[in-house]
A and B are shown apart, each in its own frame.
Chain A
Amino acid sequence: MISRWRPTVSAATILGLALVLRLPALAQKPTFSTQVEVVRVDVLVTENGRPIVGLRPTDFEILDNGVRQQVEFAGLEHMPLNLILALDASDSVAGVRLEHLRAASEALLDGLITDDQAALVTFNEMLALGSPLTSDLRQVRQAIRAVAPGGDTALIDALYAGIALGESDIGRGLLVVFTDGADTSSFLRRQVVNDAAKSTDVVVYPVASGLSGRRVTSFLKDVADQTGGRLFEIESTRDAQRAFVGILDEFRQRYLLSYTPRSVAKSGWHRLEVRVKGRRAVVKARAGYQAGF
């Protein structure tokens, strides 16, 4: 039985966005500026390629702009997950590829547990919210079945929207974005997504099919790295299910660390280094975060 942790940390970034998408009235609330009170860092710790479990806060060392911080919390699988599934629904996924994608998405949803939520965003040249964040996964499954491919690919716009949606509710944000084509119609530029990736708690896992060697993969890898996620490159959509399930498995092995920044600037880019004391562990975490405006 997995125990549940309810967040009590006062991260203004998170709380300020709570439920905006589900409760539109909240969007009308007065403006406030983002101030980093508590920093959340999602980390994957492996040793010899295998995740390490059972670590405590005192096992971690976090350097914020080179200044050692006091880790206050280290949770594993304890916080409800907000899965944002962003699927390419352009011309190129029509036919059997769509079937692969549907099966992969269903398998991903099968891995969610009570209190986890999911949302579906599809994109061709238009972004569409197939399902808002909900714990009613039937709604999401229904939206997956209704996906009808056609049109161009606005990948950059979709990544931006996916990150924003992942931030819109309390919970650990996981953005799984699938594409099998380069961007052909986005309005936003790559840099906007890179900037968003630097200042988000959402962990991005792109899945790119048949795009090996294309410039778009290095962009997707950068976005993933900035958030502590990982790019999955697959040969064809046949491998999508394995990738999707693998992402969730990996995500479940991640620790959620938190700390209150001390003795560091209140604004600007903060470089993060996360280590495990006394072990030769590999730690995958976001490269840093953007504080203040």
Chain B
Amino acid sequence: MIACGCQQNETLNSVAAGSRAAAFSRQLVLRTLWVLAVALSTGNAAPQDFGAQLDRAVVEPFLFQRRVVPGRTFATAQLQSWLEAVANHRPGEADDCTRVVASLAPDELADVVAGFEWNAVPPPVGIARTDLIKRAAILHTDIAVMAAADSPQPDRANVSPRASLHFGAALELVAFLKQVAPRGRDDPFVLHWWRAVAAVLGQLRDTVSSPYYMKRAVSLFPHDPEILLMAGVLSELVASPSIQDAQPGFEIVYVRRAEQFYRDALKSDPNAVEALVRLGHVLGQQQRHVQAVSELKKVADDAAPPRFRYFKYLFLGEAQEEMNQGGAAREAYQRALELYPGAQSAHLALARLERRTGDRVNSVAALQRLLERPPNAQARQDPWREYFIAGPARRAAEMIDGLRKPFRRQP
């Protein structure tokens, strides 16, 4: 049973100033994430500041390290309660532990995490320090995932400020793992956590917290093809009309970023079909159609799952259409439709092509073939609808579960 006791303060003068600076900077990261999430999710952020804010979110916390005040105090009872929750949480479940910790205010949470890092109270007996940190990261990740699932925003799937806050807490704990473990960065948990959280945010098509996370993830794992792929897809999402409608002005910047991420992913894994297909797409978006065709033609049909073969032909058709190769484009769209006969995107592409070439009869006929199909998911299966969800993000639940598995108690 978890209980939050009355608040007690304890002064910790014995902790080295350097450690204080690091811990305080983490609190600032949490607070900045919270402010950023609230500002963007409530639409208070000025559109023109969107990109700048994302960058500041990464940089600013570390500018304030010198503001550490010696003699900092902590609510140790709250920290004790948090530690009990960490030790007793059943990974993946909404239990008393998640409820208690989720009720902490942002400042309280920042204090608790900092207090834990400063060893403000003795940790529970029988759990290794590194395991405790991992358990804490899982607890906050669970709270964040649960809160994210409840995000009530029909037009934008961005995670709620609460989800963002707890992802932030988990992030700080994962970062702390590096400090306490001799081989912190090499601990497989760290990469697994980053991949899993990137996948969750990617599945939610979040654009508020994700840029921050992906930037950190890429800086930590600059050669991991999965992280690079998800960073690329996020960049494409930010550049997409649905996001640019609310926060215009950075479309081309993010398309270029996506291109670079895909190129880096392909350097690490030349067989990464998804990265290759997406590279072709972003090249097309930059009007570099010859290069797009060249990259897309590298995608071997026998090596690509149907949805990536579909994208290959859809984007190939688009590039060829722009190059005034109507016949080749038509053939490409038809190949795409052979894979997904009810796909709205390919039918519309074909309608657009026919209209462009002056054949409005066939343009309307292409549209008609689409509209004749019943509007249900089965008859209208269209990979485009999930284009902005990276392959790994489609396995988000499985990845998060893999993270929890070693910490589940046997019955």
Contact = CB atoms under 8 A, between A and B. Distances in A.
Given A21-B368, A164-B364, A164-B367, A185 B375 contact: no
B361 A182 contact: no
Interface of B: 154-155, 241-242, 244-246, 248, 344-345, 348-349, 351-352, 355-365, 367-368, 370-372, 375, 380, 384-385
B355 A26 contact: no
Given A187-B345, A215-B248, A17 B358 contact: no
A183 interface: yes
A16 B364 CA distance: 11
Q: Per DSSP, are chain A's interface residues mostly helix, strand or loop, or mixed?
A: loop
A109 B372 CA distance: 24
B344 A13 contact: no
A29 B360 contact: no
A184 B363 contact: no
Contact of B348 (A17, A187, A214): A187
A92 interface: yes
Interface residues of A, number: 50
B245 A125 contact: no
Contacts of A129: 371-372
Contact of B241 (A20, A34, A190): A190
Interface of B is mostly: helix
Contact of B364 (A168, A185, A292): A168
Contacts of B345: 187
A160 interface: yes
Interface of A: 13, 16-17, 20-21, 24, 26-29, 31-34, 90-92, 125-129, 152-154, 156-157, 160-161, 164-165, 167-168, 181-190, 192, 196, 214-216, 292-293
B355 A164 contact: yes
Contacts of B384: 187
Nearest to A184: B242
A128 to B, nearest CB: 4
A156 B241 contact: yes
With a 10 A CB-CB cut-off, give which of A154, A187, A190, A293 has the most chain B CB atoms. Answer: A187
Contact of B375 (A126, A161, A183): A126
Closest 7 CB pairs of A and B: A27-B365, A293-B358, A128-B375, A187-B345, A129-B371, A33-B358, A182-B245
